[in-house]
């Protein structure tokens, strides 16, 4: 298998960081993107490059802010100019607000969607002309189990991930004729820095009106990683491994890949299996079965 040129967004931590290291380990040409490569993430940049180099691999780290269209377009153009193509884009950048849904203002939610949803829109649109010209490509959209089910106090986060699921699935059908795959990875509750760095809601007046209920999100954050088996802790590397397998697949990939911690089943896979035939029947009824 020849290595592929893969761009990963949100590569400074979590699934993104693990994914770029795993793909580099497997011999792919990996471009890890993030904000602040000369500032707050300068240390992460060095760590990634040094870790890949120690194993005899090359890993490139570039500045890219998915909330800024000019930044996205400039970085993607740079990658194509340098490597001649982009085989796969991993849309991983994201933030996770945990709080009273009503207390997040419109501006709060717009900032969330600028990253979680419009970030993927920008990145997809930047790479797709190159992929269509090549007649091949892969878009991986990292959503969440909360892109399929809803938990209290994660309402705005779920909304962004539901939206991303819809975008990815529409691309799945529309891009098939161009030889491009659009797929979704739905991670379960693995330990990460997403909850600890959760943006707080801005509307303190609304927050105060919820009384004791307003304290629940803080309790969720404090106990985010409780309940895991200490002898067999969740391995977020499983998400990176799943993404790598999708990148390396030689046949058409499944639309959705659920990755849960070992021994955990929150019903997302069963939900996907139930919805799939209904979606396919709908497309068939519309005369679009060739897109399935």
- Point out the residues that are catalytic: 157
- Write out the two tokens for 151: 């938990």
Are 7 and 89 contacting, i.e. CB atoms less than 8 angstroms apart? yes
Residues 6+ apart with CB under 8 A from 90: 6, 7, 8, 9, 16, 19, 140, 142, 243, 247
| Cα–Cα dist 166/214, whole Å | 31
Which H helix or E strand runs over 88?
A: strand 88-91
Q: Give the CA angle between residues 138, 120, 199 to the nearest 5°.
A: 140
Give the Cα separation of 8 and 50 in Å (integer). 18
Phi-psi region of 27 (alpha: psi -120 to 50; beta: other; left: phi over 0): left
Residue whose structure tokens are 């193509």? 85
Bridge partner residues of 110 (DSSP): none
Nearest to residue 31, comparing CAs of 56, 55, 63, 53?
Answer: 63
């Amino acid at each position: 298998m020849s290595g592929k040129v893969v761009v990963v967004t949100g590569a400074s931590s979590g699934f993104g960081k693990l994914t770029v290291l795993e793909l580099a380990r497997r011999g792919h040409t990996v471009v890890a993107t993030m904000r602040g490569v000369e500032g707050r993430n300068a240390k992460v940049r060095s760590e990634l490059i040094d870790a890949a180099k120690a194993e005899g691999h090359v890993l490139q780290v570039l500045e890219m802010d998915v909330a800024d269209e000019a930044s996205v377009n400039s970085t993607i153009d740079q990658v194509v100019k340098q490597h001649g193509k982009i085989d796969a884009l991993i849309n991983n950048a994201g933030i996770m607000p945990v709080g009273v849904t009503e207390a997040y203002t419109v501006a709060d939610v717009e900032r969330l969607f600028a990253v979680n949803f419009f970030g993927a829109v920008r990145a997809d649109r930047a790479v797709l002309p190159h992929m269509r010209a090549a007649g091949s490509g892969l878009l991986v959209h990292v959503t969440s189990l909360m892109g399929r089910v809803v938990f209290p106090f994660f309402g705005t986060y779920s909304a962004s991930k539901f939206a991303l699921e819809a975008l990815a699935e529409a691309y799945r059908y529309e891009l098939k004729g161009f030889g491009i795959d659009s797929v979704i990875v739905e991670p379960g509750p693995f330990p990460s820095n997403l909850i600890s760095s959760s943006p707080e809601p801005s509307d303190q007046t609304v927050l105060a009106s919820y009384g004791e209920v307003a304290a629940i999100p803080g309790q969720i954050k404090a106990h985010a990683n409780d309940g895991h088996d200490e002898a067999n802790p969740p391995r977020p590397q499983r998400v990176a491994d799943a993404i790598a397998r999708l990148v390396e697949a030689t046949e058409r990939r499944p639309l959705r890949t659920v990755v849960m911690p070992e021994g955990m089943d929150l019903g997302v896979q069963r939900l996907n299996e139930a919805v799939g035939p209904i979606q396919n029947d709908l497309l068939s009824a519309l005369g679009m079965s060739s897109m399935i």
